[in-house]
Structure 1
Amino acid sequence: MRADGHAPGQPDGQDAGELLRRCAQDVLDVAEGIRAVSARTGAALLDPGLTGSAPRRPRTTLAARWALLRALTGGQGLGSPAVTPPRGPARLPGRAGLPAWVAVTALRLRVAAVLAGHPGFARDPGMRRLTDALAPGRDPAAVRSLRALFQDPGAQRALSGLTPLMAELSAVRELLEGRAQGDGPGWALAPGPPDGQSSARHVPPPGARDGGEAAADAVGLTDQERQAIATEGSFLGFLRNIRALSTDGRILVQNVRGPDGVGRYVVQVPGTSPGRPRDDGPRDFADAWHDLFATDSPSTRSIRLALAEYGMPRGADLALIGHGEGGTALLNLARDPEFCRTYRVTHVITVGSPAAGRRTADPRTWVAAITDQHDMVPDPGGPDAGPDPDPHPNRYELHYPGPAGPDALRHTVRDYIEHLRSVVPQAREIVDDALTPYRGPVVRTRAYRLRDRAHPPEGHPFLTLPTASVPTATGEVDVPVRYYDSSAVHLCYLVDAGAAHALLPAGTRTVPGRTGGRTLAVLSLYEHRCSTIGPYTEVALSVPVADLWRPRPYDVAADLLRRADLRRTGRHVLSLAVSSEEARSVAREIWGQPATLGSAVADLMGRHLRFATMETGLVVAGRLGPGVRCPEADWVLYGRRDESTVRTLVRAHGAPRLHSGARVRLRLDTAAAEPMAGQLRRLGIDAARPLFVLHNPRFTAHRSAGAVLPR
């Protein structure tokens, strides 16, 4: 059974994207052919028959071997980095080879296809870094840029959100490193047998972890989570359970008594959330890619251990329901014959998962795959794209056009719940009808945290510290808030102390730290790619303030010599704009900072800075000159909540550098939004160059809960 959710006429971007994807596949076919020719040429070069004929015909043998060598390694030939002797590869360093160059061209086409269908994805940090690496016009330069990108320790996190390009990234990476041999996983994207099941998909990727590291620990649920867990089996109820679990590496196993009185079991697995820390769980970039091609991974092994600990009997009826990458892992379990011999997998239902063309080990299993065409994770142009050549009667697929708009690229289970209620209610009815044996009271519920013991906790040891849960308007937040991958630029201006004092809260003893009649104003730009409150951008205007009890003119300068937790001075945040509602709630309710919503495009990692806000009308651009290394930039930030001052400690770990601000310019639109635009003008910053710039291209940090001071 198949449903078609496409509109009668696709947008031009979708048509262009499909054409580019087909072109990319054709180019990859060419790369595969070149690689095969390179392998045969290398084998001929070291063929024993040719080598043995050298004493008898030295001139012709030498000419033949020289021609083969030039064809294999020459700049006008294959440019191969390796030949394949009988006992293994012998690498020729420094060369990427024609197959890799052609594969990079295919990657360029694939990136263009993704952006044609989803232009908003160009703002993703990983996509920006990838397009920057592919920007050089010459293929060898692009190969060098990609090599540097893959060797960058922070690149894996930045690229982890590029699910539609995951297979291509892995293939190109192996080609650049000279590891693709024969039918290895580096060529998993190459065309497979006619049935669409490529043999390469069962080959573990490089770095795949062995089975001894997977683990599953039973964990309790909070009171709020227990209230949200459904007590009756239904499709939307199971999805709400997934939403309640969030994306912190937990799964839910429930025992449901059906209408016929028979006990059945339901496993519910969330996906990952880009820009969120993954702790020591198995749902990382490597495992998510592994799940696309193999039935065995740390995720699937951890789920098996959870089911064994739950005490599920052999032969029990089992329904698997997952979102995003969690749905992919469950589909792989259903494709495993051994797992299907242990349990009778009756249903596999996924939302937002790349599930096209995947067959289960038990042909009786009913499979449903529901995806929004705006969702980037189950991108239909991925490695399993296209309709199943032999559709199964127990299969239901729906790729529907969800609501367009600024949030169209979101991949949350909350969006799918809302769409199943209002946009595609017929899909909910079809799935609920199929789940009739599971529509009964829940007898037992148990949550498990999946772990990969080969990995330490994220940010260890700097970010492994005790936390507490604090309620906010958008839900509970763990504090300190931890930032696992961020960039920051602080523009420091010399301004009039009287003008700065006029912007501080009235009726308080907060005064700016000054030297004579001047003080500093700091415009801070942040790009938080991964944090415990999600990815977001931030722009803040602050001024240094003196001790609230004993203000002295030079306190700020003297306090910089002390540890941050012993400082009596700090920076008072005058205005703040963040790009997510969760970050705004945390800033207002926990740190006492006057935050507003405002999206931005940020590029703060290199020397060419670019930060443009949409709502505030502020643009910062320029190139940093030479800089000097300076100590870690720990800060004390002050805010205001009700009648009290809130003090927040920010600890950072990175490599900040101090630069001259001569080449950095700030531009403010005439219609820029208040309050930040007005404060910048009153301080004279809109027409001045920064005195100096503090640049921290990549750092980790944690911000404590705000301590309330009685004045």
Structure 2
Amino acid sequence: MTGKGDPAAESLRAAARELVDIATTIQDASGHATAALTDGALLRALPRAASAARLAYRALLRATTSGAGLGYALTGGRAATLAAKAGAVLGAESLAVRVLATSLRLRISAVVSGHPELAGDPMVTRLVDAAAADRDLEALRALRALVKDRGAVRALSRLAPVLGEVLALRALLDENPLNDTTAWLIATGKGYASADPITGVSNKIIAVLDVGEGAARPTELPAAESARLCARGSLLGFLGNISALGTGGRVLIQSVEGPDGVIRHVLQAPGMRVGHPDGDSPQDLFGAFSSAVLNSSPYSRALAKAVADYGVPHGAELALVGHSAGGAAIMNLAQDAEFCARHTVTHVVAVGSPVDFKQPADPRTWVASVTNQHDIVPTLDGQGAGNCFDLHPDWYVVDYADPTHLFPICHSIDRYRANLAHDLPGEREHIDARLTPYRGAVVRSQAYLLFDRPPWRPDFPFLTVPTRVAPGPDGPVDLPIRTRDGAALTAYFAVRPEAVRDLLDVTGPAVRVGGRVLVAVHAARNRDTSTADHHELHLGILVPGPPHDLAGLARPLRRTDLLGVADLVRRVDVRCSGSFLVGSAVDAAGVQSLAATLWGGETYLTGLELRVSPRSVRLAADQVFSLRGRLGAAVPLSDPGFVGYAREGDTTLRSSVRARGRARLHPAPVLRLAVEPHSSHPLAERLRDLGLDGARPLLCLTSTARQSLRDAAVPVPPA
């Protein structure tokens, strides 16, 4: 399973290591020669020097620029660097590059020796041979043929064991001078791939986009996920926890009582979160990239915040277990000297992670790295299955190949866990033996949701307002009522003026369109509120302002133009128009008792349901009516809130709901209102009197997600 125990492969890797040493020696010699050639004092003294000295100088020049000597091996200094890059563009090579390229070819051969499926695949062989021979056009054709035949995913999966070496070889031999440094880093094993080996674009350009001090907030896991967490510590148990967490931006910390009775702690970190490449979570694509190529990232800083919030005591023993980007992040945490001064990091287990060039700050920390040779992610730092260096002789490295060659399946935490459970029993037992202090009963578990930056509270700043205590029928009530999660629907109907005149005893001018009066059916769903969660329903006649007229039908309804309709979508603090309430309903008894304070008028207690989506709506009131259908096209706007008017004796009350969120105005909804047949509910009778049974609205205003503030109704000063 390991793929690195084959004697022939090990002989090839040993030869490759020797060639790396030779190439490095040649490169150093070239640097000294270049320094001698560009020495200012030597150049000034050369015209006066003896002829033998000038001959030696010319010989040195030929040695550093001739293919028969060191090749085009100028290096060091600004002028020599520019000359070397110009030579690379023209295709000039140095002896050091040729030796290093031979080393990479030997490594490819070593991998092929351990992977018979590569040697037996003519399409892969064609691509590798073309890349090794510096035939760009042929390599491109071979790659296109491989992708066309297998698909991109299968092609990358098949190439994964030799991908790093093939890319480094291309970077060494092509005419792009920008990727030469990366090729040397990969080929010599002296550092992570600092740039893209194809284009030469620096990796840090992407990594620096991932910014933030990191933050962690405790979160409760659903019951189904909590049930999957391990009850006793073990390698497979911790990896199973990572599987249960998924890639949703969460991590887990557990406390385990070891065999010796000591409480120790385990931090478990999953891999990259699927979704937007640069979201609020440090587990996004940019976060995964920065965790791999930088020594500190928002992910590792967020992990430190989680450990601090969990309350791990100073000096307590801590094990870190991570998968993919989580493995890179925990290694960054382990190499943080300040963190290791606060806590004793005893073990690090990185699974499927690019961690070859990371080193714990505490030399006593035991590190295990588990990688599948067909997994592309661990090769992101430039070191893959063809690596011929023993970068960490003090680590426990499990580098294997299993029959599942398809990426990303072979990268999944469940596949790694299955390999360790069934295919690598010896390796699993060895890691478990080292984790013996953590193999006991789990006494505490806490999940954390991670962020790049500390998130704003969901109620800030809109819901951060002064509050006061108002008396209520069931005790004091905090006003205004604050709703953190809400939705709303307002449907506008056109009714005959006679229906309104027959219904109302007191009214003023109403908003008309086309000779008809506009009537609004407004419903809201209020969740996570400062009082009881509830639905509310209001039926009202649209009026351009407060109705002060007490003469009833003595004054006929006045016509208004469409400006009255446009006023309906203005903010409530500058809006005069509103709904003159002729009936309201709620589904919470505590809110019904407050109705006289909040909006006035007659309010009924009945079951309500409101479901709003961008495409459809369903509103139902038990034994009253239902309104459902498709919403159609929409115009986006800010949620304007709601304004209602009611009469209480000789006083007009104005109530309002201030809202924050996005709303949609639907000019041609396909909805129908249906009153419950044979219902004697007062609201059902009122809807029939208005002629709304079977009616379709002219337009609708919807909001699928909003926050709102509802204060007490206030008297309107007389005109």
* TM-score, normalisation: structure 1: 0.46
* TM-score, normalisation: structure 2: 0.46
Larger Rg: 2
